[in-house]
Structure 1
Amino acid sequence: MGTLPEMRVVASEAELREIVQEPGRFVIDKDIGRIDEHARTIIAHSPLLLLATSDSDGTCDVSPRGDPAGSVLVLDDHTLVLADRPGNRRTDSFRNLLRNPRAGLLFLVPGMNETLRVNGRATLVSDAPFFDDLEVRGKRPHLAVVIQVEELYMHCSKAFLRSSLWKPETWPDRTSLPTLGQITKDQIGIKEVTADVIDADLALDAENNRY
């Protein structure tokens, strides 16, 4: 841990509210706690979501989940299903959910500056009748997460407008950034193979083991 500079720490909600005023009624009332027709439309068009979980001790994790738009199932007005796809097998999110069955989701739609936020109780399942509907490229998942929706509301556009995320002209030149192979080699201290070899292996795995 590094040495932190001298800071004025906010340690109570009262201190927080001295800086940030109470939200207006509209902001409070926007949580509808269910999946309405608008939420269904956004979920159906979202190819990427972020899944936030925490361990029983509060240790947090956020994991990106990507699939063709429409892959997240809406079973009813309070139930979502997310398929698990092949990954690095760390199972950070799943181990968290077994210890603390609470989850937060953020649905993104390309080109849309507003996002959909969902919070609720999560259950990890290994089979159910709806697993057939989770198939992609003929591959049926081995695991899925069922979310019982407790909170659901839209998040405004300011973060995406400030970041200009969807404006290609603001994107950095990809060649100016390190590749995952180079990052992996440096961070882990791999000496026996080059970054190019690691990148080639990663690209092959990403192509052949998506589902």
Structure 2
Amino acid sequence: MSYGFLDIATTPGVRTMQAEMGSAHVWERFEGDRAFDRFGRNEMDFIAARDSFYMATVSETGWPYVQHRGGPAGFLTVLDERTLAFADYRGNRQYISTGNARANARVALILMDYVRQARLKIFATVELLPAEPDSNLAGQVLTPGYRARPERIVLLHLAAFDWNCPQHITPRFTEAEIIETMRGVRERLAGLEDENARLRAELALAGHREGAR
């Protein structure tokens, strides 16, 4: 686990729980990987390939709220090694995540790759900007051809990230991934069907010749 991510996540209540469960000594001396405050190429490529993520905010009354965000792969844009962005389109107009983020800019994200059983966790702070269609930023984050109205652009300023272990991540595949995986099987099946048709034709022709004798 990344050192900075653990620093943020470990509160007095967490330390108390670790002490009660006998694991405090493990984390008191934990040094870990300190390269937590900027995305490397591995993280950037992983984020750019995602077509969904989960984002948690906390309300002014202390209740957490988790929202699923989806779009074409890359809709969560990597602007630089410390900044992500996505377009916030008009939806059901409840504005729960947006309202929470305006009151408390701290958010947590989980990005999943179910096929490879990989999980990236991110702590970030939110900055809400108007969606100005002609701006350079909008050109980087707006989805071409998407008919919904963009209401704002959400910037995510990285605080820390952590790669989580793959345990208990059940592999799941999208339709496109299944089609790609099955392409070789389909090609092989088509070849066998062609070969079968050819052999049937040869047998029919041989039978016709035998009957003509």
Change (3 A) 1:14 1:136: closer
Distance 1:159 1:18 in 2: 25
* Equivalence for 2:142: 135
* Equivalence for 2:65: 61
TM-score where L is the length of structure 1: 0.65
Alpha-carbon offset, residue 154 of structure 1: 0.6
Q: 1:71 aligns with which of 59, 72, 75?
A: 75
Q: Count matched residues.
A: 154
Q: 1:116 aligns with which of 114, 120, 142?
A: 120
Distance 1:86 1:144 in 2: 11
Q: 1:148 aligns with which of 143, 152, 157?
A: 157
> 5+ residue gaps in structure 2?
1-12, 175-213
Distance 2:17 2:81 in 1: 38
* Equivalence for 2:30: 25
Q: Is the 8 A contact 1:34 1:149 kept in 2?
A: yes
Alpha-carbon offset, residue 112 of structure 1: 2.3
Is residue 2:164 matched to residue 1:159? no
Give the partner amino acid of 2:136.
Answer: P
Deviations 1:148-168 (A, max 9, x none): 1010121110131xxx35289
Q: Is the 8 A contact 1:30 1:154 kept in 2?
A: no
More helix by share: 2
SS of alignment partner, residue 150 of structure 2: coil
Q: For 1:34-53, what aligned pairs fall within 5 Å after superposition?
A: 34-53=38-57
Higher radius of gyration, 1 or 2: 2
TM-score where L is the length of structure 2: 0.64
Distance 1:20 1:78 in 2: 35
* Equivalence for 2:18: 16
Change (3 A) 1:141 1:29: same
Alpha-carbon offset, residue 76 of structure 1: 1.1
The two structures, once aligned, show a CA RMSD in angstroms of: 2.4
Runs of 4+ in 1 over 6 A off after TM superposition: none
Q: 1:125 aligns with which of 126, 129, 139?
A: 129
Give the partner amino acid of 2:18.
Answer: L
Distance 2:173 2:50 in 1: 18
Change (3 A) 1:167 1:107: closer
Distance 1:76 1:12 in 2: 32
SS of alignment partner, residue 53 of structure 1: strand
Q: For 1:85-100, what aligned pairs fall within 5 Å after superposition?
A: 85-100=89-104
Change (3 A) 1:20 1:55: farther
Q: Is the 8 A contact 2:116 2:171 kept in 1?
A: no
Give the partner amino acid of 1:79.
Answer: T
Change (3 A) 1:122 1:167: closer
Distance 2:161 2:17 in 1: 27
Alpha-carbon offset, residue 14 of structure 1: 2.7
